[in-house]
Amino acid sequence: MKFFTKGRISILLIVLVLFADQMIKILVKTHMGLYEKFSVCGNWFYILFTENNGMAFGMELFGKLFLTSFRLIAVAAIGYYIYKVIQRGQKTGYIVCLSLIWAGAMGNIIDSLVYGLLFSDSLPYQVSQIVPWGEGYAPFLYGKVVDMFYFPLIDATWPQWLPLIGGEHFIFFSPIFNLADASISCGIISLLLFYRRYLNGFFTENEKVASKGDE
């Protein structure tokens, strides 16, 4: 019997991404003060500890409860879809992409669900501590997502001769993100680059189901 089946590859990848994502977040949160930064590689790769209430890359949209609820629904839907495509025997690469997206979404959901219950608040010059369950900085569903990867690849000033923006400071690629965000991005980009026809087939199939329901 083949050990590395498509289902097991999906589960293994999800477990690895979740484990690595949570270990990095816990290490950063329990060893660094909020907004503390140190260089990993020159001036273009830093570990910079931040937290956010929003979605990937620190975007703030709608309310916290709405975002967490939306994430839970999305994860349930994606998880069910992964189960169906594994049953259909679709390509392993397609399943890997979906698994990366699911793992990344779940990684950030864990922060929202339990970090507020498990950790004291992170502040500048004050490192967070693990506290008795339920005595943390926020109630269930209201935890903040931990971000830490910062890649200011270009940190410069626009030439003075440019209209409107001349002389202004700019940073190319300023978002601060985590491993879960990167997992989601890699999964989506790979889907768009290599498996667009699968997505087209998925939407076409749903349209057919919807049209039959209207008849």
Q: What H or E segment, with its residue span, contains residue 136?
A: none
Record the tokens describing residue 186, joined without a space. 């890699």
Each residue's pLDDT expressed in tens, for the chain with a length of 215 residues: 567 899 999 999 999 999 999 999 999 999 999 999 999 988 889 999 999 876 554 455 556 777 788 889 999 999 999 999 999 888 999 999 999 999 999 999 999 999 999 999 999 999 999 999 999 999 998 999 999 999 988 878 888 888 888 888 778 778 899 999 999 999 999 999 998 887 766 555 554 444 454 44
Which amino acid is residue 109, in one-letter code?
I
The predicted pLDDT at position 63 comes to: 65
The predicted pLDDT at position 104 comes to: 96
Query: Structure pTM?
Result: 0.84
Tell me the DSSP string of 141-208.
Answer: T-PPEEEEEE---EEEE--TTSTTTTT-EEEES--EE-HHHHHHHHHHHHHHHH-HHHHHHHHHHHHH
Spans of all domains in the chain: 6-153+168-214
Cα 9 from Cα 4, distance rounded (Å): 6
Catalytic (active-site) positions: 147, 181
The predicted pLDDT at position 203 comes to: 53
